[in-house]
Amino acid sequence: MAVPIMHKAARKMAQSHLRSDLDMTTGELTEILDLADAVKSNPKRYATALAGRYLALLFEKPSLRTRMTFELAIKQLGGDSVFAEGRLGEREPIEDVARNLDRWTHAIAARTFSQQTIEDLARWSAVPVINALSDMYHPCQALADFQTLREKFGELRGVKLAYCGDGNNVAHSLLLNASRLGVDFSIATPAAYQPHAKIVSQSCEFAKESGAKIVLTQDPLEAVQAAHAVYTDVWISMGQEAESERRKATMIPYQVDERIMTAARKDAIFMHCLPAKRGQEVAPEVIESRASAVFDQAENRLHAQKALLLMLLQ
């Protein structure tokens, strides 16, 4: 298990925004994970670190974990948040939204359908914009995931993470961060639902430097061989409802069930960003098993996002 850094101070990130995982350098990624451990171990030390800071939450999609953990994170650091829900750019231009909010608040966390919305907010905002989820990336989830992996297995280098299912935004963020942290990553997807070619190419380049092994396959049993962790996500994300039946039929072989978990290491954990559809991407007996780390991941959303806010705002 990683040893928490008890008195870790926050260093300002070089980039002023977190539009994608790549706005964090590899060094900053590790620093955020270290700081997340420190915050989790000694929350009182940081209880007033962001006093007087205000976070705007702009959500185009419903949320439990992302909204609650960002609201709690800023409040537990001494600040506060304001929340607005609705499609950005419909009532007034995104550039106007950004330039209003940067007069009133110190950062904007946006959960959007399109990555372009994140890019537009960042272009016009004078305060940090945080990607709280888009169609291309989910960097805040990935931070919590790698914090959880470190807690379970100690050093990340040499750990194997296997992903089964849709090559979506979560898969993209896991790929980009695993390849930089030296985590072996294998992903099994149907041919029609592979991760974006650009993300794969970037990740393979990072892996050359870190020594991580990146494997893409259509065979879930091949992907999970010797895996320390088996990860999946929903087959139908918000906005993809029209594709439901086709996606379900294609994804059935990728359900994480006991057969899949047995093919991984004996001490393998099961991971999911939640919400989960039991009986679809994961069998009920797996998500409710002792191997399941899904609620550890959910808890670590709070700590990882505290660390991120500290490095952007302190």
Active-site residues, by number, are: 111, 138, 141, 233, 273, 301
pLDDT tens digits along 153-202? 999 999 999 999 999 999 999 999 999 999 999 999 999 999 999 999 99
Share of the chain above pLDDT 90, in %: 92
Is the predicted pLDDT of residue 236 greater than 90, yes or no?
no
Q: pLDDT at position 239, please?
A: 75
pTM for the complete prediction?
0.95
CA 123 to each of CA 21, 84, 212, 242: distance values in angstroms, whole numbers, following the listed order: 17, 20, 33, 32
pLDDT at 9: 66
Q: What is the pLDDT of residue 11?
A: 82
The correct answer on CATH 3.40.50.1370 for the domain covering 141-296 is yes
We find that the CATH architecture of domain 21-138+300-313 is: 3-Layer(aba) Sandwich (3.40)
Token pair 């906005």 in the structure block, residue: 239
51: number of Cβ within 10 Å: 10
Q: What is the pLDDT of residues 245-291, one digit of tens each?
A: 999 999 999 999 999 999 999 999 999 999 999 999 999 999 999 99
What is the pLDDT of the chain when averaged over all its residues?
95
Look up residue 148 and give its amino acid: T
Q: How far is CA 222 from CA 69, 77, 225, in A?
A: 35, 44, 6
Q: Is the pLDDT of residue 6 over 80?
A: no
Instruction: Decide whether 21-138+300-313 matches 141-296 in CATH topology.
Output: yes
The domain segmentation of the chain, as residue ranges, is: 21-138+300-313, 141-296
Q: What three-state secondary structure class fits 151?
A: helix
